[in-house]
Amino acid sequence: MLLLETTLAGAGIGFFCAASFWAVSSLVRQHPPERSELGVSLLLALGCAPLLAVLVLHGANAGRVPLFNTFDALTVYAVFLTLAALCLLTRRRTQGIFAILAPYVTLLLLAGFPTVGVTTGPVPHQVPGTVLLLHLLAAFTSYALFSLASVLALAYLIQDRNFKHRRFGVIFERLPALETLDHLMFRVVGYAFVLLTISLALGVYLVHESGNGPGWIADPKVVATLVTWALYAMLVHMRARAGRHGTRLALITLAGLAFVLFSMVGVHLIAHSVHGFVQIGATPQ
């Protein structure tokens, strides 16, 4: 089983590597944009399929929601992020952002690859399965969408530099208009913020149901997530209520990625959490 999971994960990451190479090289080699767009999208979609298969196998094998190991967590995050970007592509010509997104996702998948098939500690038995699933889905979708907003923010800042320094090359051509990036950033952050809020609410319910008591508020993961939530609440306020736009908002959105990554994975590397069944480096099956 481990061999099959490793092979499928390797194949998925292979497609992501190829997509990254194509997306980046298209900025240098000047392929026709339509061909690059189709090729990169296809490779990313093909990469998602074996990765999802690994999750299904791992879940079936462990008999639970497959979100309790670093590779699984990063894979769910990467696949959600990729699918969100592909959905965006069907609505707007945003293919230029794949030159940023594909390498980023690939690096995360490569980082998680050593823990393919690793089993971690048990889920506390008091936690209701369906609510836990919804809690996790909402959390990971919000992480993916916040990260997509950060990718759009980085694209915004690159495009801003292009405008300021009069660099009107291939990157300038491929990236969307500044205003498009600004609109998309805010909309994506809006959806992500709602989902993170739902995830937090479900988390509170789960804590109550599992009988962990009031100590949950001091849990490092909860604290990190609340800080992330507060940051994005400020961002949403700045845009929706104060009507702010432009590079400063893009910088804050980009900085938000660090908070997302820290609350998703980083916190487990430095502190013990009630979410401790997400562990790094447990024994392979």
Partner 1 sequence: MKTNLSVLGINFRTAPVELRERASFTAANVPEVLDRLGTEFPGGEAVLLSTCNRTELYTAGIDVEAKKTALIRMLLKGAAPHEFTDAEQHFYAKKDSIVAEHLLAVVAGLDSMVVGETEILGQVKQAYQLAEQAQISGKTLAPLFQNAFRIAKRVHTETDLCRGRVSVSSIAVELAEKLFEDLGNKAVMIVGAGETAELALKSLTERGARDVLVLNRSLERASALAERYGGRAIPYDLLDDYLPRADIVISSTSAPHCVIREDSVRKAMTVRRGLPLLLIDIAVPRDIETAAGALENVYLYDIDDLQRVADENLAKRRDAVDGAWKIVREGAAEVTSVYEGADLREMMRKLDEFARDASDTVLQRMLAKEKMAALPEDTREEVRAIAQKVVAKLLAEPREGLKRAAKNGRWDEYARVVSDLFRFNEQPGADPDDPAQKKGPS
CB nearer to partner 1: pick between 180 and 210:
180
Q: How far is the CB of 122 from partner 1 (least distance, A)?
A: 49
* Partners of 284 in the β-ladder: 118
The upper half-sphere exposure of residue 135, i.e. CA atoms within 13 Å in the direction of its Cβ, equals 18
Contact by Cβ (8 Å): 124, 210: yes
Q: How far is the CB of 242 from partner 1 (least distance, A)?
A: 7
Q: What is the radius of gyration, based on Cα positions, of the chain?
A: 19
Contact by Cβ (8 Å): 112, 74: yes
Q: How far is the CB of 70 from partner 1 (least distance, A)?
A: 38
3 CB-near residues (< 8 Å, 6+ apart): none
C-alpha 256: how far from chain center:
12
CB nearer to partner 1: pick between 160 and 209:
160
Q: How far is the CB of 178 from partner 1 (least distance, A)?
A: 5
Q: Which residue has the tokens 């690096």?
A: 107
d(CA 239, CA 230): 14
Which chain residues interact with partner 1 by CB under 8 A? 30, 32, 34, 160, 163-164, 166, 168, 172-173, 177-180, 183, 242-249
Contact by Cβ (8 Å): 80, 144: yes
CB nearer to partner 1: pick between 239 and 268:
239
Q: How far is the CB of 117 from partner 1 (least distance, A)?
A: 45
Q: How far is the CB of 46 from partner 1 (least distance, A)?
A: 24
Give burial (CB, 10 Å; 0-12/13-18/19+) of 198.
middle
CB nearer to partner 1: pick between 152 and 200:
152
CB nearer to partner 1: pick between 242 and 269:
242
CB nearer to partner 1: pick between 104 and 172:
172
